[in-house]
Structure 1
């Protein structure tokens, strides 16, 4: 439990809206991340699925998130609202931001690679053979399916399933994390 709390503390200390050094178990986002870290830490240390599976199911029931304990999440990430988030075994960069109904999924067994500082606003998806480069912000309702992003951009739905990109106008991550 101490190892999981130490991992959680790194996240809490990095998020601007959270009081550093203070785990509030009544904050559903913090508790959601804690349950993941606890399940993942037990899994990594013991390789026995019994307790991690129960913690995964508890997190799913309480927070409506599908975040399996075998997934390697980054050291620092933020969940705005956990409801409807589904995360596949993919590669996740640090300072990931997830909001409700975000999906990261495989397509024909191929998982995306997500760089540092990616923001997934509500109802977004990253699926299949994609490299979502660092600093990509997915606008609400945007899907990136089997496409790469240039990074440091805003991504939007385009024509015929091909996303469009615009240069980032501001540093969204500075609103969410204590960087530096």
Structure 2
């Protein structure tokens, strides 16, 4: 198996380096495979790189299962995550084939899923705090911060906002006056 991985390892590590270099809490250019979030991202980039280059379904599936078993994340190798993203805690994250943009932040038990085959769109700078869900024909516009326990189902956010769970599934939205992304990423 290592020979099959070696063909794409340098490219996957280069992709990982771009991501690591963008995250403020991580030392630029240093991949710590004992850091579970970094290793989660590495396994995704490796499986996705192999898929892009060679469509080796068997190898990609093994890497997907390894990531799922070690890190509790359901992130299939065919999903196109952005070049720059951050995973705070990987346990319970489920990601569908949706549209993702740079500066995505994911915390434990966040879900992006389809509804009747329709996937959401997450624009640049979206933060999904723990126990959040973005489902179906949803559009989460640029710099939307989804607060803990909030579900967005077939709805839109206005962007540059904080989103909270309201009554009867209605979202409560406030203007976002702080650049939370600057605390997470080197922008």
Structure 1 position 72 matched with structure 2 position 73: no
Task: Give the Cα separation in 1 of the matches to 2:114 and 2:171.
Answer: 18
Question: Structure 2: 5+ residue runs without aligned partners?
Answer: 1-8
Two-structure CA RMSD over aligned residues (Å)? 0.5
TM-superposed CA distance for 1:169, in Å, is 2.2
Q: Aligned to 1:147, what secondary structure does the other structure show?
A: coil
Equivalent in 20, 38, 58 of residue 46 of structure 2: 38
Written as runs of structure 1 = structure 2, the 5 A alignment for 1:63-142 is 63-142=71-150
Equivalent in 170, 174, 178 of residue 162 of structure 1: 170
Equivalent in 44, 55, 63 of residue 63 of structure 2: 55
Per the alignment, residue 174 of structure 1 pairs with 182
**TM-score, normalization by structure 1:** 0.99
Per the alignment, residue 10 of structure 2 pairs with 2
Q: Aligned to 1:51, what secondary structure does the other structure show?
A: helix
Question: Structure 1: 5+ residue runs without aligned partners?
Answer: none
TM-superposed CA distance for 1:158, in Å, is 1.2
Task: Give the Cα separation in 2 of the matches to 1:122 and 1:136.
Answer: 15
TM-superposed CA distance for 1:54, in Å, is 0.2
How many residue pairs are counted as aligned between the two chains? 179
**TM-score, normalization by structure 2:** 0.95
